[in-house]
Structures are given as C-alpha cells and as structure tokens.
C-alpha cells in the first residue's frame, strides 16, 4: 500500500491504495466519484475519461500515483471549472452547470447514459483546445484521438455532435 495525494475537483485528497491502483478505482471506490465509469478497462472506450490539467486521460489505465501533482477533474467538478473561468460568485456557481452539461440536457443526449460522463469530458478537452470546432473537428476529436474512439453503444453520436456545437456557442457568449 502507498499513501497517494491527489488534487481532485479542486480539493486535495490523500488515500491509501496499492502503488499500482488505477485512478478510476481510487476515484470511484475511495473518493465516491461515480461519474467516471468502468467500461473496457483497456483504454478502448472512453467511459472512464477524466481531465488531467485540462487534458483528457483514461483513468482505467492511469495509475493514481502517476497523476499526483496534476489537477484531476471528473464530471462532478466540471461546473466548478466553468464557474472559476467565468468568475461566478458562490451563489451563481451553485446554480450553474457547465455549458457542456447544459447542452447535454437541452439536446437530451443520453440514452442509457453510461458513456456520457466520458463524452462530456472529451467535449471539455476539445472545446478548451478548439472553441469553434467544425462538425469534422468534432468527429475527428471523438473518433480519431488516441488512445481510442469514444464509444456509445446506444449510438447517440448525432446528438453528441449537436450538443458540442450548442455548448461551443454558449461558451462563446
Ligand atoms: S474503461 Fe477506460 S477507456 Fe474504457
Ligand atoms: S448513451 Fe448508452 S452507451 Fe452511450
């Protein structure tokens, strides 16, 4: 066992875990963050995606110990990222979702929902790098960005594209 200190959704958390414990296990089982999902456990589906310093990583194949010192954001922390970027006060922040989350609701993207935490994390990564993506950019980001495409067994890809475009417009306002 090792003592691992992580920064997750803006808070410093120390856990006792196996030295090779996957970040996903620590997030879900020790920190109670159930947004990231266990799918393939092989970096091949995207269900477990989280942000590390704003960049998407696959938490199923990332050792928790290897991201100590990086800022980890799960879907549970996405609204706070937006609140900080926009300088919202505590009251406003408590009532405001990230535009990506709001777009997902407005478009009614999820069917079963299992993949959608990872999809929104991928959207956050994309819109940070490219605030005005074309449809081709969105398809490229979700389909051809290593280590693998983000997979949705329910086939909600058209709705995901629409929601990313909607979120981009909202974030530009
Ligand atoms: S569970 Fe991590 S990529 Fe599938
Ligand atoms: S909404 Fe069911 S797997 Fe994507």
- Is residue 164 within 8 Å of 138, Cβ to Cβ? yes
Q: How far is CA 106 from CA 17, 59, 78, 112, 167, in A?
A: 39, 28, 17, 16, 10
Counting from 1 in the atom list of ligand 1, the atom nearest the Cα of 46 is 3
- Give the pLDDT confidence of 72-100 residue by residue, as tens digits: 999 999 999 999 999 999 999 999 999 99
CA of 109 to the centre of ligand 2 (A): 9
**For ligand 1, is residue 38 a contact (CB within 6 Å)?**
yes
Tokens 């993949």 identify what position? 115
Mean pLDDT of the 53-80 span: 97
CA of 55 to the centre of ligand 2 (A): 22
- Give the pLDDT confidence of 97-139 residue by residue, as tens digits: 999 999 999 999 999 999 999 999 999 999 999 999 999 999 9
> What fold does the segment set 78-172 form as a domain?
DNA polymerase; domain 1 (1.10.150)
Counting from 1 in the atom list of ligand 2, the atom nearest the Cα of 113 is 1
Ligand lying nearest the CA atom of residue 104: 2
Nearest CA to ligand 1 atom 3: 43
**For ligand 1, is residue 150 a contact (CB within 6 Å)?**
no
The second-level CATH assignment, the architecture, of 2-75 is: Roll (3.10)
Domain ranges of the chain: 2-75, 78-172
**For ligand 1, is residue 137 a contact (CB within 6 Å)?**
no
**For ligand 1, is residue 36 a contact (CB within 6 Å)?**
no
**For ligand 1, is residue 40 a contact (CB within 6 Å)?**
yes
Sign of CA dihedral 77, 171, 160, 111: positive
Which pTM was predicted? 0.97
Average pLDDT of the chain is: 97
């Amino acid at each position: 066992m090792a003592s691992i200190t992580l920064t997750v959704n803006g808070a410093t958390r120390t856990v006792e875990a196996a030295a090779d414990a996957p970040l996903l296990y620590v997030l879900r089982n020790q920190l109670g963050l159930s947004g990231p999902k266990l799918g393939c456990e092989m970096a091949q589906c995207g269900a477990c995606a989280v942000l590390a310093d704003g960049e998407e990583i696959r938490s199923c194949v990332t050792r928790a110990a290897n991201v100590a010192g990086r800022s980890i954001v799960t879907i549970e922390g996405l609204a706070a990222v937006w609140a900080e970027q926009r300088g919202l006060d505590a009251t406003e922040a408590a009532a405001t979702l990230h535009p990506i989350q709001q777009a997902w609701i407005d478009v009614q993207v999820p069917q079963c929902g299992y993949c959608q935490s990872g999809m929104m994390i991928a959207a956050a990564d994309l819109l940070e790098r490219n605030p005005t993506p074309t449809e081709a950019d969105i398809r490229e980001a979700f389909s051809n960005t290593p280590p693998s495409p983000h997979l949705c067994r329910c086939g909600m890809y058209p709705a995901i594209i629409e929601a990313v475009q909607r979120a981009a417009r909202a974030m530009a306002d």
